[in-house]
Chains A and B, each alone.
Chain A
């Protein structure tokens, strides 16, 4: 948190010093983007609140916690692969999962498969790259996500 505040202050000061007009344009652009995602973000936070209410913490940590083992990792990879959640929503969600006791490995697998594997967009991808290359990229990315998660687990 502090690091973000410090980074924001430093960047803002440097930018303002270098070019006042550009800085104001940047602030405006950021503000517009914020307003654009706000409804989606509020909706997700609301859905997560309901989810946490309906599903007790013990169940979440049981399936996805540090003792969930291979099951949790595979579940995270599968959920990540079939979801289309933008990063600005996925990271807050990941933070919430961590605070509920979900392991860093599982969160990393979920985030990475979410970003790299696109099951729903596969038909589109095939149109661009052909069947073989598109399927291969997704399969490799699926296992890549699991490898990344396992490596993360070594450090947390």
Chain B
């Protein structure tokens, strides 16, 4: 039974030292790169530039996937392409910059870098596939 407490403090010691550093970085990021700043620059082109800005908008803030749905709706009303809407969802869910500190701290730089590259390839592909198969009759509703 005492082994549980033993484990607890052992794990805690491994975790607790990272946390203040991580949240320091997250806090600074939040202050220096507010989302509105990127939103102003969004050009909803369908080319590489549009994709780039959509990804940049997505990675600026962390949050659960369902937090991205309302933003996807706004992107849709502003004329973003099907492909870019799903690229936005992909980037939002697996490339949030404030989470980098956590990932590097607990899993290492190599893991973080490789997962980032592979995720990028996968969710951009998903964007293209979605465009191909749901393209014509795709609609985003307000979710109510």
Mark A residues whose CB is within 8 Å of B: 1, 3-5, 7-8, 11-12, 15, 22-23, 25-31, 33-34, 41-42, 45-46, 48-50, 52-53, 84, 86-88, 91-92, 94-96, 98, 104, 107-108, 111-112, 115-116, 118, 121, 124-125, 127-130, 132-133, 136-137, 140-141, 144, 147-148, 151-152, 155-156
Contact = CB atoms under 8 A, between A and B. Distances in A.
The listed residue with most B CB atoms (<10 A of its CB), out of A4, A5, A11, A28, is: A4
A144 B126 contact: yes
The list of the 8 closest CB pairs from A to B, nearest first, reads: A30-B27, A95-B106, A49-B7, A26-B31, A30-B23, A26-B28, A34-B23, A144-B122
Q: Is the interface of A mostly helix, strand, loop or mixed?
A: helix
Nearest to B89: A137
SS class, residues of chain B in contact with chain A:
helix
A3 B104 contact: yes
Contacts, number: 189
B50 interface: no
Contacts of B101: 4, 7
15 contacts: A1-B105, A4-B22, A7-B101, A12-B28, A23-B28, A27-B24, A29-B30, A33-B23, A33-B27, A49-B4, A87-B102, A115-B93, A116-B65, A128-B142, A148-B118
B38 interface: no
Interface stretch (B39-47, B52-60, B130-138): B130-138
A136 B7 CA distance: 41
B140 A112 contact: no
Contacts of A96: 11, 14
Contacts of A98: 107
Interface of B: 3-5, 7-8, 11-12, 14-15, 18-32, 62, 64-66, 69, 72-73, 86, 89-90, 93-94, 96, 99, 101-107, 109-111, 114-115, 118-119, 122-123, 125-126, 129-130, 133-134, 138-144
Contacts of A121: 64-66
A91 B138 contact: no
